[in-house]
Structure 1
């Protein structure tokens, strides 16, 4: 369930021409990422979630994350909740989505996640060096964002098995997406897998990855091949003594 945080972190990547590309640079790019992330959000929530669940009338900003004013389901007017399709079983109904509304929150959250990845490996990528948050600031942002996911409650339908259901402080479906992503980052950073986190050393790569084998050095075979080519070049072109 930690894949969501990594998918957001990897929206910054090598552009194939020696530079860095950002998949969230455009509204279309944000929409594509949301569609890709939807199954991962559903995995964390234990319920269906699609990009259509994001409400364009409820934009997200970091200023919305006020821990002194938590959101509770009791704050909802029952008639408004029914008209919006909000129920304990289905907290958010489908609505038209404007990815531009959630883009600022995604960018801020990605910066916090990549800053903490860099802190964990003590080796920021070249894409992160000018954008790093101090660890304390990144932690605070991650915690405040995740806090709006609420808490996990027991749900046990009459004809099904018991399962966990998130219930709590969400202000908007936009916040749901961001809070879920932040939660997966916290889950990863507090897990034993954090010790296997690495920054890919390929000259052009800016990705973080989790080692699957102690001998793994690169994030992908492509980067491994690029690294071997680079080492061969330096061996064959270095001046002889």
Structure 2
């Protein structure tokens, strides 16, 4: 098992659908150093992200993935994340999605057949969950399935790109007045507009 770093993945957790949250593991950081960061560069950062979002996966899948995660798994997760971002960008911009990105999502979805399992919980009760061997592929497959549900369902029409200055995140517009991924980005956008109006 790869142990997540104490500081976590660093990726924002905005409460978006699982596929959008996963796509947002590529994000902008504000501050003295700023810039774009990738939360999927090490097994530890991937493990941290899986730990942070374990409740969004089918029961037991994230834990099973953590138990079998290897450094060689990181590029597969990163490729799926990049494909999700490509599809998100195409949908937001009203463009035709890239066939290669679609192929990556479909391949990841088929990477692990789901096998039902029964296990004893910590409190002695039983829990049913789907898992596959090798375990990390079950999480990869679940992420791809979440992307297929997102892009193939009605919520795809609500997918937006954040309008905050320098932000590269996506979100689902679940309120008519929502225009940013977070309140912080909304505040930065208002401040930037204010300064633009009052220049010179």
Query: 5+ residue gaps in structure 2?
Result: 1-15, 119-127
Aligned-partner SS, 2:178: coil
2:131 is the alignment partner of 1:115: no
Taking the aligned partners of 1:123 and 1:22, their CA distance within structure 2 comes to: 26
- For residues 68-102 of structure 1, give each alpha carbon's deviation from its aligned partner in whole angstroms, at most 9, with x where no partner exists: xxxxxxxxxxxxxxxxxxxxxxxxxxx4x445232
Aligned-partner SS, 2:27: strand
Q: Report what 1:48 is aligned to.
A: 60
- For residues 124-182 of structure 1, give each alpha carbon's deviation from its aligned partner in whole angstroms, at most 9, with x where no partner exists: 9xxxxxxxxx61001111111112343688x9xxxxxxxx9658xx4411111100100
Is the alpha carbon distance of 1:34 and 1:166 closer, same or farther for their aligned partners in structure 2, counting shifts above 3 Å?
closer
Instruction: Compute the displacement of 1:183 (Å).
Output: 0.2
Taking the aligned partners of 2:73 and 2:94, their CA distance within structure 1 comes to: 29
Paired residues of 2:43 and 2:71 also in contact (CA < 8 A): yes
Taking the aligned partners of 2:69 and 2:109, their CA distance within structure 1 comes to: 22
Query: TM-score, normalization: structure 2?
Result: 0.76
Aligned-partner SS, 2:61: coil
Q: Report what 1:37 is aligned to.
A: 53
Q: CA RMSD in A?
A: 2.9
Is the alpha carbon distance of 1:188 and 1:98 closer, same or farther for their aligned partners in structure 2, counting shifts above 3 Å?
closer
Taking the aligned partners of 1:98 and 1:142, their CA distance within structure 2 comes to: 20
**Which one of 111, 119, 143 corresponds to residue 148 of structure 1?**
111
Taking the aligned partners of 2:71 and 2:115, their CA distance within structure 1 comes to: 29
Instruction: Compute the displacement of 1:40 (Å).
Output: 1.7
Paired residues of 2:61 and 2:139 also in contact (CA < 8 A): no
Is the alpha carbon distance of 1:110 and 1:232 closer, same or farther for their aligned partners in structure 2, counting shifts above 3 Å?
same
Aligned-partner SS, 2:198: helix
Larger Rg: 1
Is the alpha carbon distance of 1:112 and 1:31 closer, same or farther for their aligned partners in structure 2, counting shifts above 3 Å?
same
Taking the aligned partners of 2:49 and 2:158, their CA distance within structure 1 comes to: 26
Structure 1's consecutive aligned runs of 4 or more residues displaced over 6 angstroms after TM superposition are none
Q: Report what 2:23 is aligned to.
A: 9
Taking the aligned partners of 1:100 and 1:200, their CA distance within structure 2 comes to: 32
2:99 is the alignment partner of 1:136: yes
Aligned-partner SS, 1:203: coil
The residue correspondences of 1:47-126 to structure 2 (distance < 5 A) are: 47-51=59-63, 53-54=64-65, 95=67, 97-122=68-93
Query: 5+ residue gaps in structure 1?
Result: 56-94, 125-133, 156-163
Taking the aligned partners of 2:28 and 2:70, their CA distance within structure 1 comes to: 23
